[in-house]
Structure 1
Amino acid sequence: MSGLRRVRNVRRSVVGAIAAWALALLFSGCQEGGLVIAPPTTPAATPSVATAAPATGPVAPATGAPARDLRAGDYVLTAAPETAGFESSGGADDPDSSLIRGEVAECVGITGYDSSPPSDETAGDTFFNTDTNEIQATSHAKVLSANQIQQNADIVTSPLFGDCFRGAFEEQLAGEQSEELTAEVVAVDTSFLPRGCTALVRTSMSITDQTGTYSYIFDTVYFYVGQVAVELTVTNIQDVPPQDTEQGFIDQIAGKLTNQ
């Protein structure tokens, strides 16, 4: 193995561990429900009125199968032509990685958030690129009431969601910095909307450890259709996830969501 290749492999290993740390911070902080997020200074135009989902995303059907007839495992990302070049490992230990909580709902101006437990939920496999080992994708699915699906869609399509998402993440990061490992949110962008999903939030981070400073980018893609909620997370180092690859993942999940 050449010296350059060896250095690159070490870097991938280190950055991969840091990336896992960053995602764990985000997910654990959201699960506890203890974040206190100050609403942005710009108020929502219609705080308690549902915001329509974008026309380019999936539209929730007027009627659907009862929640008890739906299986969350039917809607996660699975091995298929869209994941060619990726290997898969087991699902996450805790499938409940969603940022959508009452605090974020309140931050964007949605009142009366329904936090009832799902009738079914699951974590899909983790897919990682076998060539670069830098691109990873995970998915989580929940079967919820139609009311919860609508509320969540209203949250992620709110013009305030990017600020509220960033506030939740930065508050969690603030208590986890150390001399060995620091992280900074550089940007949160919600302007990019691929076909087939309800919303996408792109988070760019700068992470520093004893070996150097790295750029880390993760996209969280939201799907709210019928009575099924799916969150797809696609991560990459130094650059945004490849659009064609990510769109393939989105197309697979969007296609599954039509079968309810």
Structure 2
Amino acid sequence: MFNILIIGSNGQLGSEIKELSKNYDYNFFFTDRTNLDITSKDSIKSFCEINSINTIINCAAYTAVDNAETDELNADLTNRKAVKKLALVSQELNIKLIHISTDYVFDGKNFKAYCEEFQTSPKTVYGKTKLDGENEMININPKNSIIIRTSWVYSFYGNNFVKTMLRLGKEKETLGVIFDQVGTPTYAAHLAKLILDILPQIKNDKVEIYNYSNEGVLSWYDFAKEIMKMAKLNCKINPIETFQYPTPAKRPHFSLLNKAKIKKEFNIEIPYWKDGLDDCLKRLGERK
């Protein structure tokens, strides 16, 4: 029996796991910062021992990409130090650890999809602290543990690009959206199901890294166009370049992830990005 500790259970991915949990014969323990301090190794270890935890899914992260540029201390606390403590407890108590990372560990200058072993070179504080967290986990090397890198996450829950576009699409007649940043959205419900489905198959001596997003290739402009189309909103989407929408943190121009490894090793099929968007809009009551 899996006794699973979900960390960051109120975020997009954690919330989707919570919704799916009723479909699985696992015991779930959902926590957030109010009932478990992941910056304290003693707190993590005590919780795991009391509840006989044998699996941890870490959905917690400092994800405010622009804020991280001036708040490196807190980004590092959640994205590196907490991951190190989770990995140490996992190693000591023989716990399976699934940790969620990001496409931001790459520099976004590639012209072909990033494989797991490609050279990392983060260009933001967020990406650097997430890579540092990966490296802490790899160095500690808890058995039967994996890192999943993902991109462009959205969900029925929380704040995300899809919800922002729906809101602006109702308020504005035209909207400029960046067309020169290319990647693939990840529907958090699909990622949540993937994680829960592969849990029994995760058996490895060294920490493995896997990429996961939905299938397909598009820009933020293409994504916004499809949101308006599916929701039947009359807002006109105009393509703009990255320099026309400056942000404190530099976004990767290319963050397409190669998912061949996770598909082969766990024998899975990954849904197309439009299928994820269709489902999300239906749940939001916005699919027309």
After TM superposition, the score normalised by the length of structure 2 is 0.27
Higher percent of residues as strand: 1
Higher percent of residues as helix: 2
Structure with more contact order per residue of length (Cα contacts < 8 Å, sep ≥ 6)? 1
After TM superposition, the score normalised by the length of structure 1 is 0.29
